[in-house]
């Protein structure tokens, strides 16, 4: 299968030597793709000049209806999409549902926001301020869609949700999208875009797809465009200093990697509900999507006197995990997505092991249902850093696989010191029933996180796992996590809108901000 890109309203195929997409359980080729020779500058201009004006003319409610249709298409094709995620992403069915249902749910959430915003096309930011004694001249802030294109560069691990969580917000804001999934797992996003094109959900130019390498795509961005990137900090660093982006003043949002922590409160006793919630959360995050989740728990902080019991309980939870080809029903954890990821994970484990000991891993990896010697499998590996204040790698190096490091602490102050060493996280979680410990930790960790998750016995049956990203809440994190922010309900729209302070006679301001603006 030759994957095409959808640019300037047509499916087009690149030239030259292609990248090959494989099944990571069997290494069988599934598709190939290339973007060489494609007119990416023309595609960006087509999106700006054809998609942008039509989207801007549509009301929030009309844009929301488009998103609701995409959500419906994903739901109606759920089984087929899950099949693609199993084959191309190495996802178990449960991993695939997490990605695909997350995509449909996020689109539905933004569709509902569009419905609530109704027939408006722009947003007002707060009340106007009088700028003279009589109050006849005022100043206030208005948001309008940027007149450019939103380029979305996504990571390989959530090809459906990654597409949806960015596209839903940009399109609702009225900005056309060029989405670029990571090449290795692009089949799923390709299929979703195909569904949208076949159903003619969007006006021409509103949604484009680059299937394959970015190949100079970013060289053509202008000051009305935005770039939203999800991926590694290394690639993010390249993009932040990209000369064309810097020159044009392109607005950039970065969602990068993160060494998220899970903290067990000193009050939690072995065998308690809170203890079990903690152990399940860590084991789930290590193995869901084979640990390839930006929100996965990487650092496991436990009171010193609980260290060996936590190690034992986690080891027995991990020992039950059956690794293999997720096409087989009995498999709990699939392979890593690519040979490169496997290489990086193994190198990362070596790096962590310089200052950590191995607590548990399977003696001989023999993946179920995979051809002998094939597939990018890594069994879960639990490490422990006994002197975490003296270990730097565990706080600096993200191993993007089924690996986590347990470490002891002696006080709340030490927890804060250890967590902060990662220089900014997407999410950390706290499992405790001690209200004052929870309050102290939230205050100490708030500035270093995009999201904090606190759970214990009282909410055992209600609290979702910490790794779940809700469209109602912001996603992103300070510092090394990318310093970005996405989602958060209506807040997410602001990235795609220009906020303009308007100083004007009061009657003009009132005319500008009535619900049914005529633009
Ligand atoms: P990556 O290697 O940085 O690639 C991410 C995306 O960037 C891919 O689409 C890739 O395209 C593209 N890319 C690479 N070099 C580029 C360049 N020079 N110009 C333009 N685009 C370029 O990351 P990954 O391996 O896919 O993803 C894993 C990382 O993402 C992990 O570190 C994880 O923590 C992070 N992540 C973060 C979040 C979050 O929300 N914070 C979510 C998911 C993942 P090709 O595939 O074509 O090379």
Residue identifier of the C-alpha nearest atom 39 of ligand 1? 255
Taking the domains of the chain in order of start, what are their residue ranges?
41-256+483-513, 260-470
**Structure confidence by residue, pLDDT tens digits, 322-342:** 999 999 989 999 999 999 999
For residue range 137-151, what is the model confidence (pLDDT) as tens digits? 999 999 999 999 999
Is residue 446 within 8 A of residue 425, CB to CB? The reply is no
Using DSSP bridges, classify how beta strands 123-130 and 137-145 pair: parallel, antiparallel or unpaired: antiparallel
User: How confident is the model at residue 519, as a pLDDT?
Assistant: 44
Ramachandran category for residue 23: left, alpha or beta (phi over 0 → left; psi -120 to 50 → alpha) = beta
Q: Which of 32, 235, 239, 474 has most ligand 1 atoms within 8 Å of its beta carbon, as the pocket-test mutant?
A: 235
Q: Whole-angstrom Cα distance, residue 353 to residue 492?
A: 39
Q: Name residue, tokens 């709990």.
A: 332
Model confidence pTM above 0.75 = yes
Ligand 1 pocket check: which of 22, 169, 182, 285 to mutate, most ligand atoms within 8 Å of Cβ? Answer: 182
Q: Is the CB of 3 within 6 Å of ligand 1?
A: no
The residues, any chain, with a CB within 8 Å of residue 194's CB and separated by 6 or more, are 6
Per the annotation, the verdict on 294 as an active-site residue is yes
Task: Assess whether the C-beta atom of 380 lies below 6 angstroms from ligand 1.
Answer: no
CA nearest neighbour of 110 among 71, 146, 142, 77 = 71
Rounded to an integer, what distance in angstroms lies between the CA atom of residue 431 and that of residue 499? 40
Task: Note if 196 is an active site residue.
Answer: no
3-state helix, strand, coil in the chain (%, to 5): 45, 20, 35
Provide the CATH number for the domain formed by 41-256+483-513 in this structure: 3.40.605.10
Whether the CB of 25 sits within 6 Å of ligand 1: no
Neighbours of 111 (CB within 10 A): 23
Identical fold between 41-256+483-513 and 260-470: no
Task: Give me the catalytic one of 87, 255, 398, 485.
Answer: 255
Distance of alpha carbon 137 from alpha carbon 454, whole angstroms: 47
Specify the pairing of strand 177-180 against strand 150-153. Answer: parallel
Q: Is the dihedral of CA 419, 425, 429, 430 positive or negative?
A: positive
Give the nearest ligand 1 atom to 426 CA: 41
Give the whole-angstrom CA distance, residue 382 versus residue 361: 7
DSSP 9: T
Q: Which CATH class is domain 260-470?
A: alpha beta
What pLDDT is attached to residue 518? Answer: 44
Residue 449 φ then ψ, to 5°: -135, 150
294 lines ligand 1 (CB under 6 A): yes
pLDDT along the chain (519 residues), means of 10: 96 94 97 96 98 97 98 98 98 97 98 96 93 96 97 98 98 98 98 98 98 94 97 94 95 96 98 97 97 97 98 97 94 97 97 96 84 95 96 95 98 97 97 98 98 97 95 97 97 97 96 66
Gap between the Cα atoms of 401 and 285, Å rounded: 10
- Spot the catalytic one: 87, 165, 294, 486: 294
């Amino acid at each position: 299968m030759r994957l095409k890109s959808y640019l300037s309203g047509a499916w087009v195929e690149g030239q030259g030597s292609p990248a090959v997409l494989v099944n990571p359980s069997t290494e069988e080729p599934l598709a190939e793709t290339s973007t060489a020779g494609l007119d990416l500058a023309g595609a960006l201009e087509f999106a700006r000049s054809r998609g942008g004006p039509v989207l801007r003319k549509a009301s929030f409610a009309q844009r929301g209806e488009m998103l609701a249709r995409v959500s419906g298409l994903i739901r109606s094709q759920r089984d087929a999409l899950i099949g693609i995620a199993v084959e191309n992403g190495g996802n178990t069915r449960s991993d695939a549902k997490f990605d695909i249902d997350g995509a449909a749910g996020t689109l539905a959430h933004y569709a509902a926001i569009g419905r609530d915003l109704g027939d408006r096309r722009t947003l007002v930011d707060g009340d106007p301020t009088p700028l003279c004694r009589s109050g006849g001249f005022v100043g206030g802030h208005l948001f309008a869609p940027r007149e450019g294109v939103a380029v979305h560069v996504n990571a390989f691990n959530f090809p459906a949700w990654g597409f949806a969580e960015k596209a839903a917000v940009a399109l609702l804001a009225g900005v056309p999208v060029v989405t670029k999934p990571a090449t290795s797992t692009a089949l799923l996003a390709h299929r979703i875009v195909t569904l949208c094109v076949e159903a003619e959900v969007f006006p021409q130019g509103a949604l484009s797809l680059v299937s394959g390498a970015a190949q100079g795509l970013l060289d053509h961005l202008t000051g009305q465009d935005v770039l939203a990137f999800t991926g590694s900090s290394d690639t993010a660093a390249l993009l932040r200093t990209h000369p064309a982006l810097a020159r044009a003043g392109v607005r950039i949002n970065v969602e990068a990697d993160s060494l998220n922590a899970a903290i067990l409160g000193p009050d939690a006793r072995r065998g308690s509900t809170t203890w079990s919630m903690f152990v399940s959360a860590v084991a789930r995050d290590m193995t869901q999507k084979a640990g390839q989740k930006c929100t996965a728990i990487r650092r496991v902080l436990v009171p010193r006197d609980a260290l060996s019991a936590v190690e034992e309980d986690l080891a027995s939870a991990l020992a039950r995990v059956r690794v293999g080809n997720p096409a087989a029903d009995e498999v709990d954890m699939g392979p890593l997505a690519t040979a490169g990821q496997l290489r990086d994970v193994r190198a990362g484990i070596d790096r962590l092991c310089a200052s950590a000991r191995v607590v548990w891993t399977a003696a001989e990896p023999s993946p179920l249902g995979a051809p002998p010697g094939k597939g990018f499998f890594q069994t879960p590996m639990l490490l422990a850093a006994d002197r975490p204040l003296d270990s730097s790698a565990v706080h600096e190096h993200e191993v993007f696989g089924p690996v986590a490091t347990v470490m002891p602490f002696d006080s709340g102050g030490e927890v804060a010191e250890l967590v902060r060493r990662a220089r900014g996280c997407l999410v950390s979680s706290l499992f405790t029933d001690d209200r004052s410990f929870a309050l102290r930790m939230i205050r100490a960790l708030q500035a270093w996180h995009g999201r904090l998750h606190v759970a214990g016995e009282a909410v055992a049956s209600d609290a979702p796992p910490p790794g779940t990203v809700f469209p109602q809440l912001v996603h992103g994190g300070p510092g090394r996590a990318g310093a970005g922010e996405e989602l958060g309900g209506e807040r997410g729209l602001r990235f795609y809108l220009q906020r303009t302070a308007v100083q004007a006679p009061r009657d003009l301001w009132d005319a500008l901000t009535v619900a049914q603006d005529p633009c």
